[in-house]
A and B are shown apart, each in its own frame.
Chain A
């Protein structure tokens, strides 16, 4: 019964979405306040019904109702509650439900907190939001219904794919989708502005918090996925340039560009037309990412062709929304007045360069990901585009981007003083030089470029600190004044500096672990020892340990420094899941400050030994700490009262302006 209610609620949500997609927009064209006012209640009601539907599916999972096909295929009553819950989105149908749920959630948030928006803009934006919702609700109902029943309900489910039975599944997809779908708000506002044919700097102020939220969630979503892959896959890689990863990186790059161009638009009224385009692109890339992952086209062009129903449907959504949006853009964008002049050397100029490199990096990932598919479809030739291509093309685009990053915040709006900015960055540059020298001193045969990578990262981090130091005039005025100035700085300034610092931290982690990490591969039996970096690991014993729905083959290791100091035990295991006849690697990690020892074992060899992989990962945690800092920076920026959603107007209005009003 619950499943049927969920199914029905989804259909009602579709009906509401269709109303929300049509009435308010018609109303806005005819200045009909009755129709315009349909938007808010429709968006709220649509969210309620989508939430009901999603809740019904979750209830089926939690109660292990195996008469529902989707639950039977992806769950098992022996699984702990948390995995029974997360397996809701651990499959195609459920993850599309999560997608639609978050989409409706964002729509409802705009409806609930958009009190300060002009009525027509809000009506149009919610209307566009509802087109997207309707398309995906229709997609679920027609091709991916999670509520289908089985006539003879089985006693036990088939279990969730073991690799997904991990806390990562609770965290990674929801945040990723919050990011993906969050960009739909910017998209809807952009389309609404194009429909109205009018846009001003206030538009950027309304849209920026939503972009910021989406960007923050996407950042930690990607980082969380990266850490999950790092510890789950057993060989300690953190980024693979896999098409699935690229699908999430593209919206992130476009979203980062959008975040920055929206600042220019808000402060200076410039880059309007470009910002609108980025808003369209960021969400289009989210849609493309969904298509790539959901259609099966990545596995092979042929898989797509043999079971094309879902793929074709999403492709149609893709063509409709992206094509429609770009066509509307081409038609209406010329109506939008450009404004806000600035000299090439200025804050705006620096942000334009930021946008240039970010969009080019995004285009590179796009082409690298889709080129093999396109080439095979067109000519039948099969080529591979892998990590070597992306490393070779991505790095040259990111190096200049990171190099100009510290300059941007130090340049003034409209017309900046490059020489002055460079002078203020001298200390940062000196620190970078020291880092490069230290890098070379410690390098000993490592890659030649690595010290420069560290130097660049230090420059970026020191540049972020310089920005704050300059604004608080630290050491140049009494300390109390500095503190007062620091407290008085807008939160968005702090946010920007923290996020930029985070980029530098991530870069340090990537460069150091790539250049100076070490690896040992061996076959060991109990009693053996092995050395890595300055640590010695001995395999003491092997034993079996049962779990709720799996059994572990555990290797017990003792770690000490080569000098003899004991560091503690590590217990990597090989986890077998009888229900699916599969096994996963449960790596053991030992954290020492920001570095980790990474240990994983494989299936025993015939000779009684087990294969062992040991990695020393210096500074590896910085990669994800940096992402966390970006998130915190975003949150700080979001808490800036000027950006707060529904922020009240300043209480004090200057007399002259009052007179003008």
Chain B
């Protein structure tokens, strides 16, 4: 009964101080009974789990979530790994079943081009803008204090004196 109550922790988002960093009470995410005996395989399973979303949760990976669905998915991932699937095969399997929503790292495609393209584009545009501004302003000009009277200018330089 306590467990069912914990699902309500998603309310933490709409409740309270708004910016609580509380997603859910994700204790008992990975349970010891789920873990694989082979440490290499288990490490792969953990790494994969961190990339997969628990679809009934709010922004949680199946590695963090205690929801029953996350448990099922963790077991599923481990089963696929045991049969010998590669990491990408496991991911393909889950995407085929649950759609792209399951991936916390969105794939690079047309509909995510803007998402992945923005950071480099922003830097590029920023650099170009800075270069343009610097080049345009190279010739010396009167500067910003031109519209001030001499008295104002003196007062300003006095105010700004270190």
Contact = CB atoms under 8 A, between A and B. Distances in A.
Contacts of B17: 89-90, 95, 98, 164, 169, 172-173, 176
Contact of A269 (B4, B20, B35, B144): B144
A266 B161 CA distance: 11
Contacts of A169: 16-17
A657 B158 contact: yes
A650 interface: yes
A591 B127 CA distance: 45
Interface string A377-406: 001011111111100110011000000000
Contacts of A221: 19
B21 to A, nearest CB: 4
B88 interface: no
A139 interface: no
A291 B105 CA distance: 25
Contact of A371 (B13, B115, B134, B159): B115
B59 A243 contact: yes
Interface stretch (A4-12, A326-334, A360-368, A629-637): A360-368
Contact of A242 (B1, B59, B126): B59
How extensive is the interface on chain B, given as a class? 35 or more
Contacts of A341: 137, 140-141, 143
Given A387-B61, A389-B105, A523 B144 contact: no
Interface residues of A, number: 101
Contacts of A239: 21
Nearest to A601: B27
B93 interface: no
A388 B103 CA distance: 10
Interface string B108-131: 000110111011001100110010
A290 interface: yes
Contact of B16 (A91, A234, A397): A91
Given A173-B17, A228-B20, A389-B106, A234 B25 contact: yes
Nearest to A73: B15
A364 B15 contact: no
19 contacts: A161-B15, A163-B22, A164-B16, A169-B16, A200-B156, A201-B156, A233-B26, A233-B27, A269-B143, A356-B126, A381-B100, A384-B104, A389-B115, A392-B105, A397-B123, A521-B31, A582-B9, A600-B27, A603-B28
Given A89-B17, A226-B21, A585-B25, 18 more contacts: A89-B16, A200-B145, A233-B27, A243-B59, A266-B160, A341-B141, A360-B122, A367-B119, A383-B101, A384-B104, A385-B104, A576-B2, A581-B4, A582-B9, A583-B6, A585-B27, A654-B158, A660-B151
